[in-house]
Amino acid sequence: MFRTTLAGLRAHKLRLLLTSLAIALGVGFIAGTFVLTDTIQAGFTEKFAAAADKIDVAVLPARSEDAESSRPLSEAALEKVRAAEGVGEAQGLIRGSAALVGKDGKAVGSFPTAGISLPEGPLNRTLITSGSAPKTATQAVLDENTAKTRGFAVGETVTVLDSKNVGHEFTLVGLFDIGLDQQLAYTGGVGFTTATAKAMTGEKGYQEIDVAAAEGVGQEKARDAVAAALGPGYRVTTGEQYADDLVKANGADDQLITMGLLMFGLVAMFVAALVIYNTFNILVAQRTREMALLRCIGATRGQVFGSIVLESAVVGGLSSVFGLLIGYGMGTGALSVLIAIGAPLPSATAALAPRTIVVALLVGVVVTMGAALLPARSATRVAPIAALRSQIEEQTFRTGVLRAISAAVFLVAGTAITVIGVTMERGQLALVVVMAGGLLFFLGVLILGPVIVKPLAAFVGWLPGRLFGVPGRLALDNSGRNPRRSATTTVALTVGVTLMTLISVLVGTLRLTYSHKLDEQFPVDYMVQSQSGGLPRALGEALRDRPELASVVAIRETDAKAAGGRPPYRVGTFTALPDFTPKLTSGSLDALTPGTVVVADHTAKDLGVKLGGRMPLRTAKAGTVDLTVVGLFDAETSPLPEMTVPAGDFDRYFGAVDDRQLMVNAKDGTDLDKARKAVEAAAQPYPTAKVSSSTDIRGALDEALDMMVMIITGLLGLSVLISLLGIANTLSLSVHERTRESALLRALGLTRPQLRRTLSVEALILGLIGALVGAALGVAFGWASARTVTDGVIFTVPVLQILAFVAVSGLAGVIAAVLPARRAARASIVDALAAG
Amino acid sequence: MTITGEVGAWNARESATPAVVAKGLTKVYGQGDAAVHALRGVDVSFATGAFTAIMGPSGSGKSTLMHCLAGLDTVSGGQVHIGDVELTGLDDRRLTLLRRERIGFIFQAFNLLPTLTAEQNIRLPLEIAGRQADQDLFGRVVETVGLRDRLGHKPAQLSGGQQQRVAVARALISKPQVIFADEPTGNLDSRSGAEVLSFLRTSVRELGQTIVMVTHDPVAASYADRVIFLRDGLLVSELLRPTPQSVLDTLMKLEA
């Protein structure tokens, strides 16, 4: 039996190639994910280990309950460490904010650059790439990226703001490499001597103390000595342990990426499983006579079953190995691309962990064999007498009761669960419930597929049937001819299109909903925000004096504690203006008189206060005040701080706090360019004041969303590609089955191009069915998902995007048909008539 | 050589405008030592409005001859004319169009498209050619083959005899210059076979259709006006107004 199987495989090499490719692509994606993340992880480990080599002991502040208030290490602690036995040298590291001022006089970037200290001596871990390290209080170094993007060169003078937003000038003496520091990669960084860094950032202590042990003292011994010298309240680790901790912290991120990518890999494998299932089904149907002959000469049912399963195991194994190679290539390729576009990733030799190999092979083989089980079982039902029948019967299909019932159960359950998800309180749980409902519904569609594929083919194929004459009509008939086969082929495509549509509907709807809500709240032309700290009130006054501007609303806020809740809350106010009327969910802003407060929904819930209730608030200047709640609002869409008191009260409670942000509207009829220039001119004296227009903000948001949709669509593209292999496979097998039919048509006068067109139109119809079902499901569940994320959803269907998905699917189907169609058209009529 | 001479004389005598003419037809499969000469130089013509049967033992080349005459296969040498058109040398597209316009086919099996109804199958050649069916002709053909109440059925719902009658109707509907039938009764029981053969003969008598039929069954051949015999790729004998007995006798002589 084994030899028969292998001989069969050799004979059908080409036929199985497409199937193998489907598995290989899925396995390749999974393997590629592992290779990519493993390689990144290995690179990090290597670099961290190298960096930590210099350190024998690291001292960190003890982890406190809330990370915010973890106290930095004091000067006294550093002295204690230095005095400890076995310590050769100890240095404290400073890290805080020190905003670099760009050549335009404004602080660079959306966030202030980090200010770090560069200790002298062997404990310095920052690599100077050009120039030298800072040695005096007037020298500074800049990270390479920031220097490049902001146009600074060594020798120039740079201005850096201290923690009070006062500018200081430094001579740029060198550039440094940020290495793998994700924070520095994001904000950029300025390096100083330790003392200068302390002064500039305003940090009260060190973030970390690095220790080099004295000659001949081991890491453990030095650690114990340092820990003993410091007493409790510190985390003291050896350098090795420190490196391990860094790797672990980084690994958590890495794992998240791995999980995300693997989700797409699983979708791809599911689609591949459908393709494999279909292929084996067709192969079994076509080899009915072969099976029957085997049964005639004495093979048992078990042996027939075994031969199919063995075949699938061999195919799965070979394809998985192939997939592993693809994955290795994809993983390393992706890493080079990521590094090339500037991601802060270490380059390392690609890691092919034993785990990757095992998982890839296991997934490939198990999925392939699993998908072949049902076809193998149907092969055992072939009666030996079938060997004697001259013609293979057309597979007929009738809707079985079992199919109808199970489809109904899944569809009803899916719908019910989705409805529950949509109606329950919105949030992550609701989204998960909707997704579960969607999955059940999809399974229902999968089961119902063979029933609905024929009417759908009639619907989708109506136009091509009219348009392409006889080839069109024949294609239409053929597409509905073997409903089970067509259904599985198209469902594979439906998976990808559904998910793509769902994402685009969800994102489109949320985008529209949020932007509408923001517009409704308070349409702002410009927003002035501080990069760090506050905006002096003088800036607001200057803006109010501008004739081009109509209204300027300042939002002020500070942290304060309220009794009975989690500390601290953001308490704030706004400068009142007649046309600034943020929406409340209950109560009224008119009631916001001295001694009252309006509170965000979730904060009120947190504190257990209701409209009309009273809440005590601890203030900086006025002690604890008792406030009456006169309104509640939705924090998600409101510009108000979570506890908003009248402006007069605020000053009385907390003093003259700086403005947090300024919302500015241009006067009607003013040229928007002019208005913007006016705002920018007013903000010029304040380096940290950042001006953005509502279109800037929306543009940035749109860009980010578009990017996300593009990446997800790209990742889902793989499953679409696999399903197209399925279409090509199904068609080529159908062509093989219909050899004599094609010959008859050719004899009756169908030209070669017409025969090719028949196949192309059939593929077009299959592709369109898959895409349309996918689009319908995607729109429905995209809507349901959007409902769970926020209320007041303004539903929108990105019609063009979805039409593009459908068109691309149809077109891709046609491309998938090219090879099978060519083969069908090339066949000699006489040979084909004689065949079978 | 003497026999082929006589055949030529008969052709000239019987009809001035033959429907199909082949001159010096040769067909070789393979090359060198492995070459198989299926046709070794066949001269034959088929009179318009006549029903001709091609007979011969297995491997005599009778199917190859039909395929070459019908433009389904290319020839190695010689010429074939259908009416005034020379087949040999036409490219695939023109050959296809010629088949579409001038030739009808009836095969032994797998004559019909399983997805189409009987009526759609009958009309298929016209639709491929983009022509309208002559409603009168359609009615007459359907009546002749007795399929009026079976038009909406799919092939799987028809008996073997009925399927072949649909095939006959399909061949007739486009009024081809010639119908080639390849063992049309090979898969049928004798009663159904007789029915199909009488339809073929009726269509020759009443519609003036030209039919060329390949068969190995002397009874089937006896329905024809004329039987030609092939052996080893050569035309070796012929019979006019054959009976089953005379066909059988000729075959016996050839086998000997």
The per-residue DSSP string of A280-340 comes to: HHHHHHHTHHHHHHHHHTT--HHHHHHHHHHHHHHHHHHHHHHHHHHHHHHHHHHHHHHHH
A222-233 pLDDT, tens digit per residue, is 888 888 888 888
Q: Given CB atoms, is A392 within the 8 Å cutoff of chain B?
A: no
Nearest to A749 among B113, B128, B156 (CB): B128
Please, which residues 144-173 of chain B have a Cβ atom closer than 8 Å to chain A? 156
User: What's the gap in Å between the CA of A783 and the closest CA on chain B?
Assistant: 40
Task: Average the pLDDT over each of A9-13, A92-96, A113-117, A199-203 and give the range with the smallest value.
Answer: A9-13
Q: Say which residue, A345 or A437, is predicted with more confidence.
A: A437
**Residue B221: predicted pLDDT:** 92
Question: Closest partner residue to A752 among B92, B116, B127, by Cβ?
Answer: B92
From CA A529, how far away is CA A494, in angstroms rounded?
A: 46
The mean-pLDDT minimum among A45-59, A502-516, A711-725, B226-240 falls in A45-59
Q: Answer whether residue A65 shows pLDDT above 60.
A: no
Say how many CB pairs under 8 Å bridge A and B. Answer: 69
Choose among B161, B163, B162, B181: nearest CA to B171: B181
The pLDDT-based confidence of A564 (bands split at 50, 70, 90) is low
Q: How far is B7 from chain A (nearest CA, A)?
A: 28
DSSP annotation string for A118-136: ---STT--PEEEEE----S
B97/A751 Cβ within 8 A: yes
pLDDT digits (tens, 9 = 90+) for A724-753: 888 888 888 788 778 888 888 888 888 888
Place of tokens 């192939």: A322
Contact B115 A481 (CB under 8 A): yes
Q: Are β-strands A624-633 and A596-600 bridged in parallel, bridged antiparallel, or unpaired?
A: parallel
pLDDT the model gives residue A342: 67
Q: Nearest 5°: CA angle at A223, between A219 and A226?
A: 140
What is the chain A residue with the closest CA to B64?
A: A830
β-partners of residue A663 are A527, A553
What is the C-alpha to C-alpha distance for residues A495 and A722, in angstroms, rounded to an integer? 11
Q: How far apart are CA A800 and CA A582, in angstroms?
A: 35
Average pLDDT over residues B111-132: 84
Give residue A444's pLDDT band: very low, low, confident or very high (50, 70, 90): very high
Q: Does A765 touch chain B (CB under 8 A)?
A: no
d(CA A542, CA A582): 24
Tokens of A185: 């990669």
First-last CA distance in chain B: 18
pLDDT band at B6 (very low <50, low <70, confident <90, very high): very low
The percent of chain B in helix, strand and coil, each rounded to the nearest 5, is 45, 25, 30
Residues in Cβ contact with A806 at an 8 Å cutoff, skipping those fewer than 6 apart = A497, A768, A771, A772, A775
Are the beta carbons of A752 and B115 separated by less than 8 Å?
no
Q: Say whether A474 and B115 touch across the interface (CB within 8 A).
A: yes
The residue in chain B having the minimum alpha-carbon distance to the alpha carbon of residue A478 is B115
Nearest Cβ partner for A830 among B72, B97, B101? B72
Least confident of A684-688, A759-763, B60-64: A684-688
- Indicate whether A351 pLDDT > 60: yes
Residue A625 pairs in a beta bridge with A617
Spatial separation of the C-alpha atoms in residues A156 and A152, rounded to whole Å: 7
With contact defined as beta carbons under 8 Å apart, do A312 and A762 qualify? no
Between residues 39 and 68 of chain B, which touch chain A (CB distance below 8 Å)? 67
> How high is the pLDDT of residue A353?
83
Reply yes or no on whether the pLDDT at B107 is more than 60. yes
What's the token pair of residue B207? 């519609």
Helix axes A13-52, A301-340, angle to 10 degrees: 40
Q: What 3-state class would DSSP assign to A461?
A: coil
Cβ neighbours of residue A357 under 8 Å, at least 6 residues apart?
A: A324
Which among A394, A740, A754 has CB closest to B110?
A740
Q: Is B96 close to A830, i.e. CB distance below 8 A?
A: no
Confidence of residue B11 (pLDDT cuts 50, 70, 90): very low
CB burial string A227-245: b at 16+ within 10 A, e below? bebbeeebbbbbbebbbbb
What is the pLDDT of chain A when averaged over all its residues? 83
pLDDT score of B3 more than 60: no
CA pseudo-torsion sign A440, A443, A449, A450: negative
**Over the stretch A686-718, which tens digit does the pLDDT of each residue have?**
888 888 887 777 777 788 888 888 888 888 888
- Selecting from A478, A748, A752 the residue whose C-beta is nearest the C-beta of B115 gives A478
Contact A635, A642 (CB under 8 A): yes
C-alpha B247: how far from chain center: 18
**DSSP, res A541:** H
H or E stretch covering A625: strand A624-633
Chain B residue nearest residue A482, CA to CA? B115
Terminal Cα distance for chain A, rounded? 24
Take residue B95 and report the two structure tokens written for it: 């050959």
Give the pLDDT of residue A388. 60
| Contact by Cβ (8 Å): A86, A214 | yes
Residue B251 to residue B57: CA distance in whole angstroms:
8
CA distance B207 to B200: 10
Put simply, whether B101 touches A (Cβ < 8 Å) is yes
The predicted pLDDT at position A179 comes to: 73
Q: What are the φ/ψ torsions at residue A527 (nearest 5 degrees)?
A: -125, 130
Res B97: pLDDT: 86
Q: Give the least confident one: A239-253, A392-406, A719-733, B211-225.
A: A392-406
Task: Give the 3-state DSSP-derived string for A134-155, with helices as H, strands as E and coil as C.
Answer: CCCCCEEEEEHHHHHHHCCCCC
Q: Which of A40-44, A423-427, A643-647, A694-698 has the highest mean pLDDT?
A: A643-647
- pLDDT the model gives residue A618: 83
Spatial separation of the C-alpha atoms in residues B147 and A258, rounded to whole Å? 67
Query: Does A32 have pLDDT greater than 50?
Result: yes
> Burial, A652: exposed, middle or buried (Cβ in 10 Å; 0-12, 13-18, 19+)?
middle
- Taking the C-alpha atoms of residue A634 and residue A340, their distance in angstroms, rounded to an integer, is 43
Q: Is the CB of B93 less than 8 angstroms away from the CB of A752?
A: yes
Amino acid (1-letter code) at residue A483: P
In chain B, which residue's Cα lies nearest the Cα of A739?
A: B110
Which stretches of B36-142 are assigned E, i.e. beta strand?
A: 36-47, 51-55, 77-82, 85-86, 103-106
Residue with tokens 């019910």: A416
* Rg over CA atoms, chain A: 34
* Cross-strand bridge partners of residue A128: A176
DSSP three-state, residue B218: helix
CA A301 to chain centre: 48
Distance from CA of A506 to the nearest CA of B (A): 42
Query: How does residue B13 score in pLDDT terms, banded at 50, 70 and 90?
Result: very low
For A:462-481, CB contacts with B below 8 A are 469-470, 473-474, 477-478, 481
pTM of the model as a whole: 0.76
- How many whole angstroms separate alpha carbon A271 and alpha carbon A442? 13
Q: What is the nearest CA distance from A481 to chain B, expressed in angstroms?
A: 7
- A569-574 and A586-587 strand pairing: unpaired
Report the pLDDT value the prediction gives residue A190, as an integer from 0 to 100.
92
B55/B219 Cα distance (integer angstroms)? 12
Take residue A745 and report the two structure tokens written for it. Answer: 């048509």
- B95 Rama class: left (phi>0) / alpha (psi -120 to 50) / beta: alpha
Distance CA B204, CA B224 (A): 10
For residue A718, the surrounding DSSP H or E stretch is helix A694-737
What b/e string do you get for B157-167 counting C-beta neighbours within 10 Å, with b at 16 or more? ebeebbbbbbb
Is the pLDDT at A779 greater than 90? The verdict is: yes
Is pLDDT of A304 > 90? Answer: no
Q: Mean pLDDT, to the nearest integer, of A775-796?
A: 86
pLDDT at B9: 39
Non-local (6+) Cβ contacts of A95 within 8 A are: A114, A115, A116, A117, A201, A203, A207
- The least confident of A187-201, A696-710, A770-784 is A696-710
Query: In chain B, positions 114-143, which contact chain A (CB-CB < 8 Å)?
Result: 114-116, 124-125, 127-130
Contact B40, B232 (CB under 8 A): yes
**Residues A183-214 as b or e (16 or more Cβ within 10 Å = b):** ebbebbbbbbbbebbbbbbebebbbbbbbbbe
Neighbours of A599 (CB within 10 A): 30
pLDDT at A348 over 90: no
- List CB contacts (< 8 A) between A478 and chain B: 115
Q: Is B130 left (phi over 0), alpha (psi -120 to 50) or beta?
A: left
